[in-house]
């Protein structure tokens, strides 16, 4: 079953929620199904048609929550928001007052009275009202009465509750059609709904390539009764809104992975500036694990204004143990050690931490497994929930990233062979190996992961450790130019290596971990790094620093 998700809607008395069309990460016909719409939240899930297995890639969908009633807009037009009841037969909805022109109608089921998959179909839209029904797949028949929410808005541009919008109509069919916006949007939310019933076969709307200026849309027909999926021309309404969400990172959660806004420059080490406080953490800062020799592998996380750092702690006298430590900061520059948060009877390291669907995860490698941990109480209490992979080699320094509707795990075999695994379910045990594993071979300068994957302008970048001369000499950056369960390609970016030895102190012999976090426009990146100095003793061999990279790279 495709997983549902509870989404905050804000604070309303009786909101209507519209959430369509759906993106196109997975090609099986599907749509969004809503339920439990309340004054504070709603539940949404991807619903495939009943003839399919209801297991689907994650998709992106925009949503609009708006109070029931009549709303006057700054451009003089009107929005009418309400509810009606409908089953598989046509019923009519009349507006309490007529519009000056034929409005655009967005209508969607918000209940699950019948468990069969349905879409909402609209026809005969006029200034006075519209007809509506719900429609199961072609192989099925009748359906129970569902509650539907609708939003009717006149075409044009304006501002809706502080959000710039553009509303219009166009005609499309079962092929992809490009739709250009009259105005540009920085962070567009795209909604669409069919206005006609020219083709009776059940269908929804799907979109892809959503940008600041355009989107590509098609009618997505199901094929429960026959293999024919082409749908004849229908008129559709569309509504583009400027999102009023302004998180530190753009994504489903903060963060699945650091995302930078459109136009940000990729963080490379060409102009990195160590903070005045660097190194910010040393072995001597750790007070609850004996005589620590060094700290390394830093990864950060920002939550409610507090910066958290997780890192490897090594006490040579206590090997093979190596726990994960935690520190905090108010600005990401000046850090205070807190405590050990994860310790096992074996070595743990490279504690990449992220958040997904309001849960916190960590993935330290251990022996021939990549274990997945979930926080019971963030940031100090972690529980092992399963093994993403259990293999016949040592998968050092794994990274997890969600990209184009799928989870990806990148690791290495023998420091020079890139191994990739994937899953649609983050908590699944035994992820699926990439068909091409190892996807890269004999690349000692970029085989082992060296930092958190990031996405800039929908492009995925990976950081690798360069171990040609010595382990942990430098960190290189590669763009993944092709990624699917059966294909992989990458290429090194200009400005790589990102990190390398410098100066005469804490990092004069190499650097091997890089965790970049976007601070915002005009501010650039704040990055956790580690450095090794040339010496014979293991004491303070590795320390942790902070470097800033300007927005120009």
Mean pLDDT for the stretch of residues 258-275: 66
> CA–CA distance from 452 to each of 260, 402, 441, 515 (Å)?
14, 12, 21, 5
Q: What share of the chain is helix, strand, coil (3-state, %, to 5)?
A: 0, 50, 50
* Within a domain: 226: yes
Mean pLDDT for the stretch of residues 449-461: 87
User: Does the pLDDT at position 260 exceed 70?
Assistant: no
Nearest to 456 by CA among 479, 427, 435: 479
* Two tokens, residue 409: 């795990």
User: Does the pLDDT at position 523 exceed 70?
Assistant: yes
**247 — pLDDT class (breaks 50, 70, 90):** very low
Residue whose entry in the numeric block shows the structure tokens 């507006």: 95
Give all strands (DSSP E) within 345-487, no chain letters: 353-356, 359-362, 365-366, 369-377, 381-390, 399-403, 406-413, 417-423, 432-433, 448-449, 454-456, 459-466, 474-483
| In a shared domain, residues 303 and 167 | no
**258 — pLDDT class (breaks 50, 70, 90):** low
| In a shared domain, residues 378 and 413 | yes
Residue whose entry in the numeric block shows the structure tokens 């702690």: 313
* The Cα angle at residue 403 between residues 398 and 407, in degrees rounded to 5: 50
> CA–CA distance from 399 to each of 232, 313, 357, 514, 542 (Å)?
45, 19, 18, 12, 21
* Within a domain: 253: no
User: Does the pLDDT at position 248 exceed 50?
Assistant: no
Q: How many residues does the chain have?
A: 553
User: Does the pLDDT at position 251 exceed 80?
Assistant: no
Domain end among 242, 267, 283: 242
User: Does the pLDDT at position 522 exceed 80?
Assistant: no
* Two tokens, residue 493: 């970016």
Give per-residue pLDDT as tens, 106-159. 999 999 999 999 999 999 999 999 999 999 998 777 899 999 999 999 999 998
* Within a domain: 333: yes
Tally the domains of the chain: 2
* Percent of the chain with pLDDT strictly greater than 90: 60
Predicted pLDDT of residue 461: 92
User: Does the pLDDT at position 385 exceed 60?
Assistant: yes
Nearest to 168 by CA among 150, 182, 184: 182
Among 381-395, 467-481, 497-511, 535-549, the minimum mean pLDDT is found in 535-549
Measured CA to CA, the distance from residue 475 to residue 530 in angstroms comes to 11
Domain end among 209, 242, 275: 242
Give per-residue pLDDT as tens, 148-200. 999 999 999 998 877 899 999 999 999 999 999 998 888 899 999 999 999 99
| In a shared domain, residues 135 and 89 | yes
**360 — pLDDT class (breaks 50, 70, 90):** very high
* Two tokens, residue 76: 């003089």
Mean pLDDT for the stretch of residues 246-257: 33
Measured CA to CA, the distance from residue 29 to residue 204 in angstroms comes to 8
Measured CA to CA, the distance from residue 244 to residue 187 in angstroms comes to 9
- The H-or-E segment that residue 477 falls in is strand 474-483
* Within a domain: 252: no
Predicted pLDDT of residue 349: 93
Range of the domain at 68: 4-242
Mean pLDDT for the stretch of residues 381-389: 96
Across the chain, how many H-helices and E-strands are there?
0, 42
* Within a domain: 247: no
Mean pLDDT for the stretch of residues 529-533: 90
**231 — pLDDT class (breaks 50, 70, 90):** very high
| In a shared domain, residues 75 and 219 | yes
* Percent of the chain with pLDDT strictly greater than 70: 92
Phi/psi at 40 (nearest 5 deg)? -120, -25
Listed in sequence order, the residues at least 6 apart from 313 whose beta carbon sits closer than 8 Å to its beta carbon are: 286, 289, 292, 295, 322, 323, 324, 325, 340
Q: What is the DSSP letter of 436?
A: T
* Two tokens, residue 49: 């048609």
* HEC readout, 196-222: CCCCCCCEEEEEECCCCCEEEEEEEEC
Question: What number of other Cβ atoms are within 10 A of residue 269's Cβ?
Answer: 23
User: Does the pLDDT at position 285 exceed 60?
Assistant: yes
User: Residue 161: how many CA atoms within 13 Å on its side-chain side?
Assistant: 12
Q: Is 285 helix (H, G, I), strand (E, B) or coil?
A: helix
Nearest to 80 by CA among 61, 100, 60, 63: 100
Listed in sequence order, the residues at least 6 apart from 124 whose beta carbon sits closer than 8 Å to its beta carbon are: 130, 131
**261 — pLDDT class (breaks 50, 70, 90):** low
| In a shared domain, residues 316 and 361 | yes
Give 115: exposed, middle or buried? Use CB within 10 Å, 0-12, 13-18, 19+: exposed
Residue 451 vs residue 471, higher pLDDT: 451
Mean pLDDT for the stretch of residues 41-62: 84
* Two tokens, residue 107: 């209508």
| In a shared domain, residues 342 and 387 | yes
Residue 477 vs residue 506, higher pLDDT: 477
Question: What number of other Cβ atoms are within 10 A of residue 14's Cβ?
Answer: 14
* Within a domain: 284: yes
Calculate the average pLDDT of the chain.
88
Listed in sequence order, the residues at least 6 apart from 228 whose beta carbon sits closer than 8 Å to its beta carbon are: none
Nearest to 114 by CA among 91, 88, 132, 93: 88
* Within a domain: 374: yes
| In a shared domain, residues 494 and 358 | yes
Measured CA to CA, the distance from residue 419 to residue 458 in angstroms comes to 22
Predicted pLDDT of residue 244: 60
Q: Radius of gyration over alpha carbons of the chain, in Å?
A: 26
**255 — pLDDT class (breaks 50, 70, 90):** very low
Residue whose entry in the numeric block shows the structure tokens 């619903």: 47
* The Cα angle at residue 25 between residues 20 and 28, in degrees rounded to 5: 80
| In a shared domain, residues 302 and 197 | no
The sign of the CA dihedral 492, 498, 502, 507 is negative
129: left (phi over 0), alpha (psi -120 to 50) or beta: left
Residue 248 vs residue 434, higher pLDDT: 434
Give all strands (DSSP E) within 87-200, no chain letters: 91-94, 104-109, 119-123, 129-135, 146-153, 156-160, 163-172, 177-180, 188-194
| In a shared domain, residues 226 and 285 | no
* Two tokens, residue 322: 């190596």
| In a shared domain, residues 197 and 342 | no
Domain end among 186, 215, 242: 242
* Two tokens, residue 271: 């102009």
Predicted pLDDT of residue 437: 98
User: Does the pLDDT at position 358 exceed 90?
Assistant: no
| In a shared domain, residues 314 and 238 | no
Mean pLDDT for the stretch of residues 25-53: 89
* Within a domain: 250: no
Give me the CATH number covering residue 405.
Answer: 2.115.10.20
User: Does the pLDDT at position 536 exceed 60?
Assistant: no
| In a shared domain, residues 173 and 311 | no
Mean pLDDT for the stretch of residues 290-316: 92
Mean pLDDT for the stretch of residues 10-27: 85
């Amino acid at each position: 079953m495709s997983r549902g998700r509870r989404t905050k809607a804000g604070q309303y008395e009786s909101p209507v929620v519209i959430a369509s069309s759906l993106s196109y990460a997975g090609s099986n016909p599907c749509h969004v199904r809503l339920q439990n719409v309340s004054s504070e939240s709603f539940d949404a899930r991807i619903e495939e048609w009943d003839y399919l297995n209801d297991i689907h890639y994650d998709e992106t969908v925009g949503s609009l929550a708006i109070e029931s009633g009549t709303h006057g807009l700054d451009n003089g037009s009107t929005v009418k928001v309400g509810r009606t009841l409908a089953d598989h037969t046509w019923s009519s909805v009349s507006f309490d007052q007529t519009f000056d022109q034929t409005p655009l109608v967005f209508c969607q089921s918000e209940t699950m009275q019948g468990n069969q998959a349905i879409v909402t179909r609209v026809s005969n839209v006029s200034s006075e009202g519209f007809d509506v029904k719900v429609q199961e797949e072609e192989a099925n028949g009748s359906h129970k009465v569902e509650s539907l929410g609708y939003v009717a808005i006149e075409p044009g541009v304006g501002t809706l509750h502080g959000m710039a919008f553009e509303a219009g109509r166009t005609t499309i069919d079962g092929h992809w059609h490009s739709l250009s916006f009259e105005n540009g949007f920085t962070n567009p939310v795209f909604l669409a709904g069919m206005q006609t019933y020219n083709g009776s076969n059940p269908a929804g709307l799907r979109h892809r390539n959503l940008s600041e200026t355009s989107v590509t849309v098609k009618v997505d027909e199901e094929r429960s009764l026959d293999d024919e999926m082409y749908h004849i021309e229908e008129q559709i309404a569309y509504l583009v809104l400027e999102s009023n969400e302004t998180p530190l990172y753009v994504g489903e959660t903060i963060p699945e992975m650091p995302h930078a806004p459109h136009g940000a420059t990729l963080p490379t080490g060409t102009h990195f500036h160590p903070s005045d406080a660097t190194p910010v953490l040393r072995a001597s800062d750790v007070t609850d694990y004996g005589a620590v020799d060094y700290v390394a592998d830093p990864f950060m996380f920002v939550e409610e204004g507090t910066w958290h750092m997780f890192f490897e702690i090594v006490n040579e006298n206590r090997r093979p143990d190596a726990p994960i430590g935690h520190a905090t900061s108010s600005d990401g520059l000046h850090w205070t050690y807190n405590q050990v948060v994860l310790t096992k009877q074996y070595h743990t390291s490279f504690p990449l931490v992220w958040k997904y669907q309001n849960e916190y995860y960590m993935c330290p490698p251990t022996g021939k497994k990549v274990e997945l941990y979930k926080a019971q109480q963030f940031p100090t209490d972690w529980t092992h929930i399963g093994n993403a992979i259990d293999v016949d080699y040592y998968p050092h320094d794994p990274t997890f990233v969600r990209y184009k509707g799928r989870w990806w795990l990148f690791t290495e075999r023998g420091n020079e062979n890139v191994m990739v695994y994937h899953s649609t379910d983050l908590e699944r045990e035994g992820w699926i190996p990439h068909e091409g594993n190892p996807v890269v071979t004999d690349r000692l300068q970029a085989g082992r992961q060296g930092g958190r994957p990031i996405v800039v302008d929908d492009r995925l970048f990976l950081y690798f450790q360069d171990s040609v001369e010595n382990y942990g000499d430098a960190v290189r950056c590669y763009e993944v130019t092709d990624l699917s369960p059966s294909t992989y390609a990458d290429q090194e970016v200009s400005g790589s290596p990102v990190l390398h030895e410098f100066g005469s102190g804490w990092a004069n012999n190499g650097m091997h971990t890089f965790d970049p976090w976007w601070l915002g426009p005009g501010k650039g990146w704040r990055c956790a790094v580690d450095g090794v100095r040339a010496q014979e003793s293991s004491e303070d061999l590795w320390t942790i620093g902070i470097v800033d990279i300007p927005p120009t790279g």
